[in-house]
């Protein structure tokens, strides 16, 4: 049984023997390090596309690195406390240690040295120089020459570094240059010609869009961003924004196209509107199946819903086709005299033709069944694409069998009553 806190949240889970179960984030925990759990290939793709290797990235843009670093630290500390946040790590914008060698030109001239002579010693003896390379089979390794670590790992040792003069004397570096240590940026990130401070955020939930919306609201309430600075949300959130922009065009365009094709096919706005009634009923089955399968809304689900609109329109057209065919045949044979004849025509078009309509829907569902039960690579995405179509076909087919005949009956009764009134008036 899981251990719960006062709010009903799970604190610890236990196995069947009562031993506590620990998460990877608890087992692999090192002081001063932050874990970010991502898949290797996915991380590489995210890095190439957005530069962020976690599900969510916060890019703070501005001019002053000190201000950027302060904002990054404060915002990371705030979002770290939000529900669903696994970790939040701000990159250091300022914090690197640099050694400055301020060369005294007068002292160099006194010993007959050029500035380049002193710089060569700093470059080669302290920084190192590749003097050759070693070949071992197909492998090549550079050979680097420089002073031992104990002769260059602190300021006093660096100051004792000897610089040879043209006269053969060895002058300590402290007499030729002033050595200072100062703080600076370990690396400067820039984007759109502006300096950046990045925050890597790893989440324990899959609702990236909802988490970002809550984070935006909290940051807007608790932080005052200085003038000239702004926040850009990156990572998978960029994919969501791009997908939303495409869907905002694709969904209305699909619906308009379906309406136009239905009207061009039937030539009747009544038939078009009746067929479109299948869309909300098909959404019932799609949403229920997504809920039972514990699928979140994603781009694949939206694509499945768009495809479901076309399938629902197709099955609705088949139903109305049989109803119209039966009604027109009864009318051509002179058997459409009263409501009883209308009921007989609708019964023949709806009930006696249920086999071909069932075969039409079952063909679609059986085609989707291998995707629903598949476990191969890529099946996770395909299941989310097929689930809305599979669940929506069930409810739309049931609605078409039960509701379409009733709507058709009411419409034709109104049409017959109008015709009878016109004949009586004439």
Could you count the other beta carbons within 10 Å of the beta carbon of residue 149? 8
Range of the domain at 206: 3-95+188-239
Does residue 355 form part of some domain? yes
Domain boundary among 146, 166, 184: 184
Does residue 60 form part of some domain? yes
Q: Are residues 292 and 272 in the same domain?
A: yes
Q: Are residues 176 and 316 in the same domain?
A: no
Instruction: Grade residue 9 by pLDDT with cuts at 50, 70 and 90.
Output: very low
Distance separating alpha carbons of residues 121 and 110, to the nearest angstrom:
18
Which is higher by pLDDT, 86 or 353?
Answer: 86
Instruction: Grade residue 5 by pLDDT with cuts at 50, 70 and 90.
Output: very low
Q: What is the pLDDT of residue 4?
A: 46
Full DSSP string of 112-138: T--HHHHHHHIIIIII-EEEEEEEETT
Q: What is the pLDDT of residue 1?
A: 47
Query: What is the pLDDT of the chain when averaged over all its residues?
Result: 82
CATH number at residue 303: 1.20.1640.10
Does residue 245 form part of some domain? no
Q: Are residues 380 and 367 in the same domain?
A: yes
In this structure, are residues 311 and 389 in contact, taking their beta carbons and an 8 Å threshold? yes
Q: Are residues 211 and 66 in the same domain?
A: yes
Q: What is the pLDDT of residue 22?
A: 59
Which is higher by pLDDT, 414 or 25?
Answer: 414
Instruction: Grade residue 18 by pLDDT with cuts at 50, 70 and 90.
Output: low
Q: What is the DSSP secondary structure assignment for residue 187, as one 8-state letter?
A: -
Q: What is the pLDDT of residue 160?
A: 87
Instruction: Grade residue 6 by pLDDT with cuts at 50, 70 and 90.
Output: very low
pLDDT at 288 over 80: yes
Mean pLDDT of 132-151: 88
Q: What is the pLDDT of residue 185?
A: 77
Could you count the other beta carbons within 10 Å of the beta carbon of residue 61? 19
Q: Are residues 146 and 11 in the same domain?
A: no
CATH number at residue 145: 3.30.2090.10
Q: Are residues 75 and 200 in the same domain?
A: yes
- pLDDT tens for 327-380 read 888 888 877 778 888 888 888 888 777 787 788 888 888 888 888 887 777 778
Q: Are residues 393 and 283 in the same domain?
A: yes
CB-based contacts of 347-354 (< 8 A; 24+ apart in sequence) = 349/322, 349/323, 349/324, 349/325, 349/405, 350/319, 350/322, 350/323, 350/401, 350/404, 350/405, 353/322, 353/326, 354/401
Q: Are residues 326 and 407 in the same domain?
A: yes
Q: Are residues 172 and 118 in the same domain?
A: yes
pLDDT at 208 over 60: yes
**Helices vs. strands in the chain: H and E counts, helices first:** 15, 14
CATH number at residue 91: 3.30.70.1320
pLDDT at 19 over 70: no
Percent of the chain with pLDDT over 70: 91
Q: Are residues 75 and 212 in the same domain?
A: yes
Phi (first) and psi of residue 299, to 5 degrees = -65, -40
Does residue 246 form part of some domain? no
Q: Are residues 107 and 226 in the same domain?
A: no
pLDDT at 50 over 80: no
- pLDDT tens for 231-277 read 888 887 888 888 888 888 888 888 888 889 888 887 888 888 888 88
Mean pLDDT of 276-296: 86
Q: In the numeric block, which tokens belong to residue 52?
A: 């962020």
Does residue 80 form part of some domain? yes
Q: What is the pLDDT of residue 279?
A: 84
pLDDT at 10 over 80: no
Q: What is the pLDDT of residue 114?
A: 92
Does residue 319 form part of some domain? yes
Does residue 248 form part of some domain? no
Q: Are residues 16 and 150 in the same domain?
A: no
Domain boundary among 148, 167, 184: 184
Q: What is the pLDDT of residue 159?
A: 87
Instruction: Grade residue 105 by pLDDT with cuts at 50, 70 and 90.
Output: very high
Instruction: Grade residue 20 by pLDDT with cuts at 50, 70 and 90.
Output: low
- pLDDT tens for 382-415 read 888 888 999 888 888 888 888 888 888 888 888 8
Percent of the chain with pLDDT over 90: 7
Does residue 230 form part of some domain? yes
Domain count along the chain: 3
């Amino acid at each position: 049984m899981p251990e719960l806190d006062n709010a009903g949240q799970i604190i610890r889970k236990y196995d069947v023997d009562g031993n506590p179960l620990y998460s990877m984030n608890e087992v692999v925990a090192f002081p001063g390090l932050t874990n970010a759990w991502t898949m290797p290939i996915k991380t590489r793709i995210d890095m190439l596309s957005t530069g962020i290797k976690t599900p969510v990235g916060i890019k703070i843009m501005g001019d002053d690195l000190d201000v950027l670093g302060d904002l990054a630290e404060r915002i990371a500390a705030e979002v770290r406390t939000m529900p669903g946040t696994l970790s939040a790590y701000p990159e250091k914008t300022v914090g690197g240690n640099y050694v400055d060698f301020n060369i005294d030109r007068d002292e160099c001239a006194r010993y007959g040295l050029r500035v380049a002579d002193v710089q060569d010693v700093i470059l080669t003896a302290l920084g190192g120089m590749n003097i050759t390379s070693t070949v071992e089979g197909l492998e090549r390794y550079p050979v680097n020459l420089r002073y031992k670590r104990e002769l260059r790992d602190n300021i006093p040792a660096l100051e004792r570094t000897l610089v040879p003069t043209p006269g053969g004397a060895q002058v300590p570096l402290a007499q030729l240059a002033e050595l200072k240590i100062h703080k600076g940026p370990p690396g400067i990130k820039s984007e759109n010609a502006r300096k950046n401070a990045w925050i890597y955020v790893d989440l324990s939930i899959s609702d990236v869009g909802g988490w970002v919306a809550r984070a935006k609201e909290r940051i807007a309430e608790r932080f005052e961003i200085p003038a000239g600075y702004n926040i850009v949300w990156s990572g998978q959130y960029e994919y969501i924004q791009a997908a939303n922009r495409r869907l905002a065009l694709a969904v209305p365009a699909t619906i308009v196209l379906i309406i136009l094709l239905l009207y061009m096919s039937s030539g009747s706005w009544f038939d078009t509107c009746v067929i479109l009634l299948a869309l909300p009923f098909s959404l019932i089955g799609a949403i229920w199946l997504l809920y039972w399968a514990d699928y979140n809304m994603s781009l694949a689900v939206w694509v499945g819903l768009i495809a479901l609109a076309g399938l629902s329109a197709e099955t609705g057209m088949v139903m109305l086709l049989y109803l119209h065919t039966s009604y027109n045949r009864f009318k051509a044979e002179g058997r459409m005299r009263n409501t009883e004849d209308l009921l007989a025509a609708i019964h023949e078009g709806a009930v006696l033709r249920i086999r071909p309509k069932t075969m039409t829907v079952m063909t679609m569902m059986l085609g989707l069944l291998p995707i629903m039960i598949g476990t191969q690579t890529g099946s996770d995405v395909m299941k989310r694409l097929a689930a809305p179509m599979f669940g929506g076909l069930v409810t739309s087919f049931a609605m078409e069998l039960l509701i379409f005949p009733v709507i058709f009956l009411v419409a034709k009764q109104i049409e017959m009553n109008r015709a009878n009134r016109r004949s009586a008036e004439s």
